[in-house]
């Protein structure tokens, strides 16, 4: 998704951080809903994900998904799929692409993803 006039500017990754990129427009729209509902929590999530996408310091909030949800194919690669709990119901699901130092945001929203129901 290319930025356009009026879009929020994101700072570039520095010193080994990961870039965060939306996998699709639904993830971008969910991100905006999270930004409206819980801006401080989303900012903390953003900073944690950029610096440590596989952190295990807060396993209740950030962890790799299990079973068939633990990985997904993206651009011909099998990547780890992780979750970050932004709020009680709000979630971010992302794929860790070490080669590109990019986290592909495949879900962002104020509720649980359908796949977990």
Give 51-94 pLDDT, tens digit per residue.
Answer: 999 999 999 999 999 999 999 999 999 999 999 999 999 999 99
H helix runs in 1-117, sequence order: 25-37, 39-51
For the domain that residue 91 is a member of, what is the CATH number?
3.30.2310
**What 8-state DSSP symbol labels residue 55?**
-
Q: Does residue 32 lie within any of the structural domains?
A: no
CA distance 27 to 110: 11
Q: Does residue 97 lie within any of the structural domains?
A: yes
Q: Does residue 59 lie within any of the structural domains?
A: yes
Q: Does residue 14 lie within any of the structural domains?
A: no
What are the angstrom distances between the C-alpha of 90 and each of 31, 72, 81, 108? 10, 21, 16, 7
**What 8-state DSSP symbol labels residue 7?**
P
Q: Provide the residue range defining the domain that includes 46.
A: 38-110
The number of distinct structural domains making up the chain is: 1
For the residues 31-49, what does the mean pLDDT come to? 95
Q: Does residue 79 lie within any of the structural domains?
A: yes
pLDDT of 17 > 60? The answer is yes
The pLDDT assigned to 117 comes to 47
């Amino acid at each position: 998704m290319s930025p356009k006039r009026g879009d929020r500017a994101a700072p570039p990754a520095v010193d080994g951080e990961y870039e965060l990129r939306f996998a699709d427009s639904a993830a971008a729209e969910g991100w905006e809903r999270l930004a409206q509902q819980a801006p401080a929590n989303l900012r903390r999530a953003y900073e944690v994900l950029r610096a440590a996408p596989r952190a295990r310091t807060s396993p209740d909030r950030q962890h790799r998904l299990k079973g068939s949800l633990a990985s997904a194919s993206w651009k011909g690669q099998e990547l780890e799929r992780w979750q970050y709990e932004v709020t009680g119901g709000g979630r971010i699901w992302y794929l860790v692409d070490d080669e590109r130092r990019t986290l592909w945001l495949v879900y962002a929203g104020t509720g649980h993803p359908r796949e977990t129901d």
